Amino acid sequence: MNVIKIRKLDKQLRGTLQLPASKSISNRLLIMRALSTEDFTITKLSESEDTILLGKLLNTVKSSQNKKGLTELNTGNAGTAMRFLTAFLAMLPGKWVLTGNARMKQRPIGILVDALKPLGASIEFLGSLGFPPLLINGRILKGGEIVVDPGISSQFVSALMMIAPKIPGGMVLHLSGQPVSYPYVNMTIRLLEDFGVKVVHERSYLKIPACNYQPHEYCVEADWSAAAFWYEAAALAEDVDLFLAGLKKDSLQGDSVLVDLYKCFGVHTEFLESGIRLVKSPERRENCSFNFSDFPDIAPSVITTCAVLGMHGKFEGLKSLKIKETDRILALKNEYAKMGITIETNLEGDFFSKIELIRTNINLPPGIRFKTYDDHRMAMTFAPLAIRSGEVFIESPEVVAKSYPGFWTDLKTLGFEIT
């Protein structure tokens, strides 16, 4: 196992970073381009492992369309690729096996499969019912009204929305429960509309007509999810003047909520023409509470910030964290124990729905070794703690390539030593 040591000899955070392009926007654009009758250029496409993999899989699909027999596509641990390709392949004539790594085979897909079947989709589970791998007999689907539960993953909804314009008769989606990560549904709506698809929508209702995408060149904005780790670092540092290039105020990404959320941790955001500037603010609260239903990807960094600052915190909307690259609540609980931090959890069925940080005597000596659980966000969440302890060890640092390949280089740019 690869392990790196991260040292920070001061509590300063000064410099300029160019954040990576949004993985979420990039992956949607790849699917939309594959569905378009004309090619179009995507500039500043994400260089994340997930986006590169999705692009390769779509190329495999394109080259395999006229071949007989089965084509197997392995999504590894890329949940977006698994969900988007499930809907995409269902409407593409051919026989496809869609699989992934061991963790992917534990991540539910049954809700999406059930939503596709009333449209005429032919999909079978090759392993456990409701989970990958899938055998998909792609065929021309028929439009109509369907019901989908958005309470586990918004990607089920986005996957259906993107194929809707290419289905004769279009699609009406009724969302049967309280959605999670709804800003990602809004992201998909805005991208569809940008490419000429008129979407009628309310929070629990989406109507998408059959039409052709209107292709044009698109430049991908920087990733607000990646900014979460620099907001965390800014909150933990004492002297901050950090410019993050490429982030937009009028963003498609819901994770731009970081601007308001980190005010309670004493981080002020200034919007400039080409990005944002982070500086310290004297205003900081003693307590923090937040519902992450719409923003699950930033939960590890926000909760860790609160914990390490010794604040009391109550957090809700955490159900989807169980089915990420790892069970993120259990991962945080395990690693917090190394620092003397205790969290109490409330279960809703098989899912953690709420957690509460309990004030304890935080013990953050140099040299704590953090596991990353094959999860990119765990690695990037624990790395900034070197600002407080002086030194941390991170296992399997290569996992950051999934979303932010340049993360360790950017740490070095800001004065962190990595060996």
CA distance 271 to 278: 9
CA distance 153 to 296: 10
Angle at 266 between CA 24 and CA 322, to 5 degrees: 40
Contacts 24+ apart (CB under 8 A), 52-56: 53/78, 53/81, 54/27, 54/30, 54/78, 54/80, 54/81, 54/84, 54/85, 55/30
- What is the radius of gyration, based on Cα positions, of the chain? 21
Tokens of 393: 């060890």
CA distance 278 to 230: 9
Residue where the block lists tokens 């944002």: 276
| 297 labelled catalytic | yes
> 281: Cβ–Cβ under 8 A, 6 or more apart, which residues?
263, 266, 267, 268
Of 109, 202, 199, 111, nearest in space to 150 by CA: 111
C-alpha to C-alpha distances, 61 to 15, 27, 34, 73, 310, nearest whole angstrom: 43, 16, 10, 8, 50
- The residue annotated as part of the active site, out of 297, 327, 374, 375, is 297
Active site residues: 297
